[in-house]
Amino acid sequence: MPENQEPRTRSLRLGVAGPVGTGKSSVIATLCRNLAGELNIGVITNDIYTDEDARFLRSAGVLPAERIRAVETGACPHTAIRDDVTMNLMAVEDLEQDFAPLDIVLVESGGDNLTATFSPALVDAQIFVLDVAGGGDVARKGGPGIARADLLVINKIDLAEYVDVDVEQMVKDATAAREGAPVLALSRKQQDTVQQLCAWVRWMHSQHVNGSHTPIDPGPMAPHFHADESGEGYFHSHDDDGAAEPAHEHK
Partner 1 sequence: MADNAAALLLLADGRLPAGGYAHSGGLEATIRAGRVHDADSLEKFLTGRAVTAGLVAGAFAAAACHASTKGDRVLLQELDPELDARIPSPALRAVSRSLGRQLLRAATAIRPHPRFNELDRTAHQPIVLGVAAAAFDLAPRDAALAVLHEAVAGPAVAAVKLLSLDPFSAHAALARLTPLLDQLASEAAKHADTAPADLPSAGAPLLDIAAEHHATTDMRLFAS
How far is CA 181 from its chain centroid? 14
Dist CA 185 CA 141 (whole Å)? 17
Dist CA 118 CA 16 (whole Å)? 9
The answer to the question of residue 54 lying near partner 1 (CB under 8 A) is: no
What are the two backbone dihedrals, phi and then psi, of residue 21, each rounded to the nearest 5 degrees? Answer: 80, 10
The answer to the question of residue 97 lying near partner 1 (CB under 8 A) is: no
* Of positions 36, 60, 87, 171, contacts partner 1 by CB under 8 A: 87
Lay out the site mask for partner 1 across 2-31 (x = CB under 8 A, - = otherwise): xxx---------------------------
* Residue number with CB closer to partner 1 (89 or 167): 89
* Of positions 16, 17, 80, 81, contacts partner 1 by CB under 8 A: 80
Name the minimum Å distance from CB 14 to partner 1. 22
The answer to the question of residue 171 lying near partner 1 (CB under 8 A) is: no
* Residue number with CB closer to partner 1 (73 or 237): 73
* Degrees to nearest 5, angle at CA 150 with 149 and 156: 75
Listed ranges 42-50, 125-133, 174-182, 232-240: which one lies at the site for partner 1 (CB under 8 A): 42-50
Paired with 135 in beta bridges are none
Q: Which of 220, 205, 206, 63 is nearest to 145 (CA)?
A: 220
Dist CA 38 CA 112 (whole Å)? 31
* Footprint on this chain of partner 1 (rule: CB under 8 A): 1-4, 48-50, 72-76, 79-80, 83-87, 89-90
